[in-house]
Amino acid sequence: QVQLVESGGGLVHAGGSLRLSCAASGTTPSVRITAMSWYRQPPGKERELVARLTSGGNTDYADSVKGRFTISRENAKNTNYLQMDSLKPEDTSVYFCRWEYTRSLEDGNIEVGAYWGQGTRVTVSS
């Protein structure tokens, strides 16, 4: 069973930076990661997509973070990152990583799904 663990959250002043990490364990050769994403859920609001990186290297960012956040991955470490610069108080949220995957099954079928981490809290003070 693949598990994702986020780290790197914390308290930072507005204008500061943080780098979030999402490390995977339990991966197997039958699992192919097709995309890695970061979501966030501000207090009292819905979870929203922040950034997404496909296996082909294409990226997509929420308008609110374009030019400030950068998503990346390090395959050798089974880890992806979210570099967050020029942080604003409205970036305060719990951040979750999500990895989309396909998995080859013994019967020849392909399972499509996603793994989620437990979240890491980011607080930006004004």
pLDDT digits (tens, 9 = 90+) for 23-64: 999 888 889 999 999 999 998 999 999 999 999 999 999 999
Q: Which residue has the tokens 């979870």?
A: 47
- Backbone phi, then psi, for 14, in 5-degree steps? -55, 135
pLDDT digits (tens, 9 = 90+) for 66-93: 999 999 999 899 999 999 999 999 999 9
| Beta pairing, strands 10-13 & 120-125 | parallel
The two three-digit tokens of residue 98, written as one number: 């999500």
Cα radius of gyration rounded to whole Å, the chain: 15
- The answer to whether 14 touches 87, Cβ cutoff 8 Å, is yes
Per-residue model confidence (pLDDT) at position 15: 98
The band of 126, judged by pLDDT with boundaries at 50, 70 and 90, is very high
Q: Which residue has the tokens 């930006």?
A: 124
Q: Name the least confident of 3-7, 9-13, 19-23, 75-79.
A: 75-79
Say how far apart CA 87 and CA 126 lie, in whole Å.
10
